[in-house]
Amino acid sequence: MIKNAVDLLASSIGRDSTFSLTVKTQPKASEPTMQTIDVLGRRAEVLLVEDEYGDVLLMREALRRAKMHTNLTVARDGEEALRALRREGAHAKTPRPDLILLDLNLPRLDGRGVLAAIKADPELQPIPVVVMSSSKAEVDVLKSYQLNANGYIVKPVEFERLEEIVASLESFWFTAVSLAPSPAFGDANVA
């Protein structure tokens, strides 16, 4: 996912090779933003449903660099995501997410199945779901919106672009949009 980052320094047949990895970082001079906390009165809860370990690490780093004030919960497959959302078993104390970032290609239950289950459950339905997939296929985008996804983002190859997207997620979902109130799970009486 890092563009133009590896330079071959030395290599010859029968001998060791030496590689150099250069990652461009641009520290941000701005102070940490408090907009998430100001809007919600607390850190935002984000559920990342992603089975690729590298993508989880990249998302954590993008959230950190964007200075997004979130608590990130990770589910590695579709079934685990639904258990976390329904607070079942080991997930009994998992907080209700304010935003779900959902990959489509997941083991055990794919993202489409997870999205359909979320949008069919009156308790989970108000939680915004943004599909983050490497697929640009029109059929995947259309199917996601037919299942009532709130957004579809094609995962970028460049880390800098991922960082920009994460910052825009905070700006849009936690500042520009009024999210549904966060009733306690099991609290069906919302007036």
CATH number at residue 144: 3.40.50.2300
pLDDT of residue 104: 95
Residue 159 lies in a domain: yes
The values of phi and psi at residue 37, to 5°, are -65, -40
Residue 69: give the domain boundaries.
27-176
Q: What does the pLDDT profile of the chain (191 residues) look like in tens digits?
A: 444 344 444 445 555 555 444 444 444 444 444 455 555 677 889 999 999 999 999 999 998 888 877 899 999 999 999 999 999 999 999 999 999 999 999 999 999 999 999 999 999 999 999 999 999 999 999 999 999 999 999 988 788 899 899 888 878 877 777 666 655 544 444 43
Residue 166 lies in a domain: yes
pLDDT of residue 169: 85
Is 118 exposed, middle or buried, given 0-12, 13-18 or 19+ CB atoms closer than 10 A?
Answer: buried
Residue 183 lies in a domain: no
Residue 95 lies in a domain: yes
pLDDT of residue 66: 82
Task: Quote the pTM value.
Answer: 0.74
Residue 131 lies in a domain: yes
Residue 164 lies in a domain: yes
H helices present in the chain, as ranges? 35-40, 53-65, 78-86, 111-120, 138-146, 159-171
pLDDT of residue 181: 65
pLDDT of residue 156: 84
Residue 20 lies in a domain: no
Residue 15 lies in a domain: no
In angstroms, rounded to a whole number, what is the distance separating the alpha carbons of residues 2 and 13?
28
**Domain count for the chain:** 1
